[in-house]
Amino acid sequence: MALVAIAISWYVLGTSSNSQASGLLRANDASTLAIGQQIYAETCASCHGAQLEGEENWQTRDAEGYLPAPPHDETGHTWHHKDQLLFDLTKYGIQKFAGADYKTKMPGYEEVLSDEQIIAVLSYIKAQWPEEIRTRHDQINTATE
C-alpha cells in the first residue's frame, strides 16, 4: 500500500503542471452527467456499487492479495486526487503507475472507453458528492504542488 501511495504521489507531482487549473471534469453539465451515469451503471457499478458505495472491507486485501473496489462516494479516497490523475488511472490502469506487480482487479479502459466517456463517468461520480466535498476537490485541482 505504501508503494502505491508513493507511486501516486510521484505521479501527481510529476504531472501537476499538465492538469488544467479548472480541472477536466464537468460535474455541472447535464448532458455529460447523463452519459456518465449510463457508463457508470454499465461499466463501474458491478464493482464500485450502484450508489458508489464500493465493496465491503475495501481497505483490507483479500486472501489473494487484492483490495476490494473502493467507494467513489465521499467516504472513499477518489475525491482526494486531481482530475488528471483520476483520468489517467481510469484510462491506463493502476499498474501503469504503481508497477506491473501491483495486484489489482481494476483494468485500464484505454481500449474500452473514449477520453470523453472517461471524463463523463468521472464527472458523474463527482456530481454525486456533497457540495463541500466537490468544493474541496476543486481546491485540490487548483493547488500547486
pTM above 0.85, yes or no: no
Segment 26-52, tens digit of pLDDT: 999 999 999 999 999 999 999 999 999
Segment 109-142, tens digit of pLDDT: 999 999 999 999 999 999 999 999 999 999 999 9
Flag whether 1 is in a domain.
no
Residue range(s) defining the domain that contains residue 128: 25-142
Flag whether 4 is in a domain.
no
Task: Quote the number of domains for the chain.
Answer: 1
Flag whether 55 is in a domain.
yes
**Residue 29 vs residues 73, 110, 121, 127: alpha-carbon distances, Å:** 19, 23, 12, 9
pLDDT for the residue 4: 46
pLDDT for the residue 5: 44
Residue 64, classified by CB atoms within 10 Å of its CB into exposed (0-12), middle (13-18) or buried (19+), is exposed
Separation of alpha carbons 59 and 80, rounded Å? 16
Please state the rounded mean pLDDT for residues 97-111.
93
Segment 54-65, tens digit of pLDDT: 999 999 999 999
pLDDT for the residue 26: 95
Contact 37, 124 (CB under 8 A): yes
pLDDT higher than 90, residue 90 = yes
For residue 86, the domain's CATH number is 1.10.760.10
Flag whether 86 is in a domain.
yes
Segment 2-31, tens digit of pLDDT: 444 444 444 443 343 333 335 799 999 999
